[in-house]
């Protein structure tokens, strides 16, 4: 996606795609249920509740109980989609996610709504930027970060068809389409969004459209950038990272803390093969100041020009 295209492209709230697909899955399979923490509105479950009032469980503001209820429903053979704002689902209920879901191998689909810095001015208490770091430490948990509405629908469809302990980041910050409705979301695989041999840009979620725009800026300088859409953080696409290490540099971009998220996973993989190109990790390294989501993304250098600049610097090392 070029900068010009990005500036004029329609953008979408992935929660709407999530809600629509969840209703379709519930119509097709009576085992699909939803659990939430007094977040029917913010999780876009109003229409689901209207159509399936007996299949929505609202536990109130009790996130630990919510995850436990989800695990119990999964143990009874249902397919629970447990929905809550990302910071509260993964922070407040982390022990239950670890013990009740992942360690116990219960097929709960954890849906982190409005992740990253989507809550803007509500600040770090409402920003879900540590979730990838916390959850990557749990073996056996799939972590999916859809880049647009099409991948969001595919992630829900995939989770319902083949349920397993899963965390899906369901974006609130509006983004343009970067995939087509028929593009395949393959478990444990990055998606090649653009070919290039000079440098590799790896974006996750909201940052994929911005890495594509950055690649356009680099192309104007004669630098051909490969762009990977890291829709799956776990299982990690080690093969794609090793292939990326054959280019001159790697730049990762995520709306998350860099200490344990996508960038850390990529850097560790490159280091484990005994050397490779420079890896630049773009994301958060501190608590965010107060401001809108757009301002915060710019503040942390998560814009197309900043991503392109990081690529140029990495290639110059």
Q: Give the tens place of pLDDT for each residue, 178-227.
A: 999 989 999 999 999 999 999 999 999 999 999 999 999 999 999 999 99
Q: With 60 as the cut, is the pLDDT of residue 270 above it?
A: yes
Question: What are phi and psi for residue 30, nearest 5 degrees?
Answer: -70, -10
Q: Give pTM, 2 decimals.
A: 0.96
pLDDT for residue 274: 85
Task: Give one word for 9, left, alpha or beta, with left for phi > 0 and alpha for psi -120 to 50.
Answer: beta
- Gap between the Cα atoms of 229 and 190, Å rounded: 5
Determine the average pLDDT of the residues in 240-266. Answer: 97
Q: How is residue 109 annotated by DSSP?
A: E
> Six-digit token pair at 6?
């990005």
The residues with which 280 forms a beta bridge, in sequence order, are 251
Q: How is residue 57 annotated by DSSP?
A: E
Determine the average pLDDT of the residues in 231-235. Answer: 98
pLDDT for residue 5: 63
Q: With 70 as the cut, is the pLDDT of residue 172 above it?
A: yes
Which residue is associated with the tokens 């501190």? 286
Identify whether the C-beta of residue 96 lies closer than 8 Å to the C-beta of residue 167.
no
The residues spanned by each domain of the chain are: 11-170, 185-316
Residue 1: band (very low, low, confident or very high) from pLDDT cuts 50, 70, 90 = low
pLDDT for residue 301: 98
Compute the residue count for the chain.
317
Helix pair 14-28, 149-161: axis angle to 10 deg: 30
Q: With 70 as the cut, is the pLDDT of residue 6 above it?
A: no
Instruction: Decide if domain 185-316 falls under CATH 3.40.50.920.
Output: yes
pLDDT for residue 9: 83
Work out the burial of residue 4: count CB atoms within 10 Å of its CB; fewer than 13 is exposed, 13-18 middle, 19 or more buried. exposed
Note the pLDDT tens digit of each residue in 99-147.
Answer: 999 999 999 999 999 999 999 999 999 999 999 999 999 999 999 999 9
pLDDT for residue 34: 98
Determine the average pLDDT of the residues in 229-249. Answer: 98
Name the 3-class secondary structure at 83. Answer: strand
Which residue is associated with the tokens 């996973």? 265
Determine the average pLDDT of the residues in 7-32. Answer: 94
Minimal CA–CA distance to 64: which of 84, 42, 44, 39?
Answer: 84
Note the pLDDT tens digit of each residue in 29-79.
Answer: 999 999 999 999 999 999 999 999 999 999 999 999 999 999 999 999 999
The two domains 11-170 and 185-316 share their CATH topology (first three levels equal): yes
pLDDT for residue 291: 97
The CATH fold assigned to 11-170 is: Rossmann fold (3.40.50)
> Six-digit token pair at 65?
């109980």
Name the 3-class secondary structure at 167. Answer: strand
* Averaged pLDDT of the chain: 96
């Amino acid at each position: 996606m070029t900068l010009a295209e990005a500036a004029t492209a329609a953008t979408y709230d992935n929660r709407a795609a999530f809600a629509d697909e969840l209703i379709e899955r519930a119509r097709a399979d009576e085992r699909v249920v939803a659990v939430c923490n007094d977040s029917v509105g913010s999780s876009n479950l109003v229409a689901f509740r209207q159509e399936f009032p007996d299949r929505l469980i609202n536990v109130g503001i009790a996130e630990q109980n919510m995850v436990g209820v989800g695990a119990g429903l999964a143990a009874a053979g249902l397919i629970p989609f447990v929905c809550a704002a990302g910071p509260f689902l993964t922070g407040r209920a982390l022990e239950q996610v670890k013990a009740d879901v992942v360690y116990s191998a219960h097929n709960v689909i954890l849906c982190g709504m409005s992740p990253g810095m989507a809550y803007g001015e509500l600040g770090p208490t409402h920003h879900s930027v540590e979730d990838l770091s916390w959850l990557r430490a749990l073996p056996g948990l799939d972590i999916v970060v859809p880049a647009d509405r099409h991948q969001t629908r595919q992630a829900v469809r995939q989770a319902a068809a083949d349920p397993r302990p899963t965390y899906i980041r369901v974006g609130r910050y509006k983004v343009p389409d970067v995939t087509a409705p028929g593009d395949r979301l393959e478990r444990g695989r990055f998606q090649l969004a653009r070919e290039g041999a000079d440098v590799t840009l790896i974006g996750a979620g909201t940052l994929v459209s911005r890495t594509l725009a950055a690649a356009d800026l680099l192309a104007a300088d004669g630098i051909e950038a490969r762009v990977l859409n890291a829709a799956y953080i776990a299982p990690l696409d080690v093969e794609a990272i090793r292939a990326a290490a054959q280019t001159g540099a790697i730049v990762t971009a995520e709306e998350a803390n860099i200490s344990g998220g996508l960038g850390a996973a990529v850097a560790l993989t490159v280091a484990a093969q005994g050397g490779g190109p420079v890896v630049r990790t773009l994301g958060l390294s501190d608590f965010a100041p107060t401001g809108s989501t757009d301002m915060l993304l710019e503040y942390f250098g998560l814009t197309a020009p900043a991503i392109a600049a990081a690529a140029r610097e990495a290639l110059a090392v």
